[in-house]
């Protein structure tokens, strides 16, 4: 009887302990569930777990996952075909660049005063033709020696320099001491790599004789890649610039604007004497454009500032190729810039309109909330 009594007491104690533990857990659970921050974190975790595509796919049978893997392999093959497509596009660009070049050569002649356009070549019907006619009539009423004035003007003065000044992306790079040099810029050309060569394009900046450097042409070559990354083939979205090379500028003595001379005092540790030395340090200038950061070939990654500088360099090179060179006159007159600004304003307008709608919804909710 004593043994049975002890057994019953032990069972009773165990049951009571279990009840107490259960009560504590329930009480703790109630406290946790009443905490909004804990609930929000728990809900977010559940949402992320339930809506993650990879976790959703993992629930499929092995046979379905096998078919999905087959689709991925097909996708990689599509990426390689797409890369070939862009290689052929590059060949087409080269072909049509040869067709554009005679027109660009004539453009250069008109800009630099090497030739005068005929009346037929200069005939242009503007949208503001009536206003221009009135302005012309007023001009004709003023007695001026037009012939004497025309003989002093050659070509279109400061054509390319004006484009640099008009385009924000370029004007930010130009320093005051760069301006006299850029006024000697006579032409900018785009050259594509030859058939069978690695994909690339070069920018050629043609300068007239000047007091700053002896080069007649400064070049910048952008190397491109049009093939899927072996480690991440699905990231392929077309050709990308992967590196660039500049050129050596043969500066004349004392004319190198990419460096500046500073004076620095040095104190001798032993004797205590002080001497003044001069040294050259890098200087901000557009012409640093021709001494770009080199992409490391040993796989080492660049620091964040260098990556940003290189990305900006790639963007500028692409802008020269796609916009500035093909549409130079419109950037000179500002018409292309107005088109770009209008496009950006439309995008901003859409964002503001959406924000306004969201604010309106919030206000409406606030008005209907009895707690407010």
Q: Using CA atoms, how far apart are residues 120 and 143, in angstroms rounded to an integer? A: 27
Predicted local confidence at residue 33, as pLDDT: 57
Is residue 243 a part of any domain in this protein? yes
- Residue 298: CA atoms inside 13 Å, Cβ hemisphere, count? 1
The total domain count for the chain is: 2
Question: Does 87 share its domain with 31?
Answer: no
Question: Does 252 share its domain with 322?
Answer: yes
- Residue 106: CA atoms inside 13 Å, Cβ hemisphere, count? 9
Q: What is the pLDDT along the chain (372 residues), one digit of tens a residue?
A: 555 555 555 555 655 665 666 666 566 556 555 666 666 665 666 565 555 666 777 778 888 888 888 998 999 899 889 888 888 888 899 999 999 999 999 999 999 999 999 999 999 887 665 555 555 555 554 444 555 455 678 899 999 999 999 999 999 999 999 999 999 999 999 999 988 888 899 999 999 999 999 999 999 999 988 788 778 787 777 778 888 999 999 999 999 999 998 878 777 777 767 777 788 889 999 999 999 988 765 556 677 888 888 889 999 999 999 999 999 999 999 998 876 665 554 445 544 444 444 444 444 444 444 443
The domain in which residue 40 lies consists of: 10-59
Is residue 177 a part of any domain in this protein? yes
Is residue 317 a part of any domain in this protein? yes
HEC string for 292-326: CCCCCCCCCCCCHHHHHHHHHHHHHHHHHHHHHCC
Q: Using CA atoms, how far apart are residues 315 and 185, in angstroms rounded to an integer? A: 21
- CA distances to 194, 223, 226, 240, 335 from 199, rounded to whole Å, are 8, 6, 8, 10, 32
Question: Does 111 share its domain with 168?
Answer: yes
Predicted local confidence at residue 177, as pLDDT: 95
Q: Which one, of 326, 293, 297, 324, lies nearest residue 311 by Cα?
A: 293
Is residue 165 a part of any domain in this protein? yes
Question: Does 164 share its domain with 51?
Answer: no
Q: What is the DSSP string of 72-134?
A: HHHHHHHHHHHHHHHHHHHHHHHHHHHHHHHHHHHHHHHHTTSS---HHHH----TTHHHHHH
Question: Does 216 share its domain with 255?
Answer: yes
Question: Does 41 share its domain with 159?
Answer: no
Q: Using CA atoms, how far apart are residues 327 and 64, in angstroms rounded to an integer? A: 52
∠ Cα 257 262 265 (to 5°): 170
Question: Does 52 share its domain with 160?
Answer: no
Is residue 324 a part of any domain in this protein? yes
Question: Does 217 share its domain with 331?
Answer: yes
Question: Does 332 share its domain with 197?
Answer: yes
Is residue 237 a part of any domain in this protein? yes
Predicted local confidence at residue 187, as pLDDT: 97
CATH of the domain at 194: 3.30.1120.90
Q: Which DSSP helix (H) or strand (E) runs through 202?
A: strand 200-207
Question: Does 186 share its domain with 52?
Answer: no
**Three-state DSSP class for 7?**
helix
As given in the structure block, the two tokens for residue 343 are 């496009």
* Residue 167, φ and ψ in degrees, nearest 5: -95, 120
Is residue 268 a part of any domain in this protein? yes
Predicted local confidence at residue 208, as pLDDT: 96
Predicted local confidence at residue 300, as pLDDT: 61
Question: Does 42 share its domain with 104?
Answer: no
Question: Does 188 share its domain with 264?
Answer: yes
Is residue 315 a part of any domain in this protein? yes
């Amino acid at each position: 009887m004593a043994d049975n009594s002890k057994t019953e007491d032990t069972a009773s104690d165990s049951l009571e302990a279990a009840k107490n533990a259960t009560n504590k857990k329930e009480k703790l659970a109630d406290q946790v569930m009443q905490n909004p921050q804990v609930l929000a974190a728990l809900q977010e975790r559940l949402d992320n777990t339930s809506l993650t595509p990879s976790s959703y796919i993992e629930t499929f049978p092995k046979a379905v996952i096998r078919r999905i893997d087959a689709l991925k392999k097909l996708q990689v093959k599509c990426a390689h075909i797409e890369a070939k497509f862009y290689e052929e596009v590059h060949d087409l660009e080269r072909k049509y660049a040869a067709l554009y070049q005679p027109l660009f050569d004539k453009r250069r002649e008109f800009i630099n005063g090497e030739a005068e356009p005929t009346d037929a070549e200069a005939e242009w019907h503007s949208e503001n033709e009536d206003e221009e006619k009135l302005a012309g009539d007023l001009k004709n009423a003023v007695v001026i020696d037009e012939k004497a004035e025309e003989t002093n003007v050659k070509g279109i003065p400061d054509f390319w320099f004006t484009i640099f000044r008009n385009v924000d992306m370029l004007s930010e790079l130009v320093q005051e001491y760069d301006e006299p040099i850029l006024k000697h810029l006579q032409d900018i050309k785009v050259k594509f790599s030859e058939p069978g060569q690695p994909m690339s394009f070069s920018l050629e900046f043609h300068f007239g004789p000047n007091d700053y450097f002896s080069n007649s042409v400064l070049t910048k070559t952008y190397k491109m890649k049009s093939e899927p990354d072996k480690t991440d083939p699905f990231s392929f979205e077309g050709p990308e610039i992967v590196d660039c090379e500049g050129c050596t500028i043969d500066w004349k003595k004392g004319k190198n604007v990419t460096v500046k001379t500073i004076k620095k005092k040095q104190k001798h540790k032993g004797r205590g004497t002080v001497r003044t030395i001069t040294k050259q340090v890098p200087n901000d200038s557009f012409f640093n454009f021709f001494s770009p950061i080199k992409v490391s070939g040993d796989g080492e990654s660049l620091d964040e500032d260098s990556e940003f500088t290189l990305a900006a360099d790639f963007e500028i090179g692409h802008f020269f190729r796609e916009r500035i060179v093909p549409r130079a006159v419109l950037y000179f007159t500002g018409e292309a810039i107005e088109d770009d600004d209008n496009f950006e304003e439309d995008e901003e307008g859409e964002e503001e309109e959406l924000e306004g709608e969201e604010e309106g919804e919030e206000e409406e909710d606030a008005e209907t909330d009895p707690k407010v």
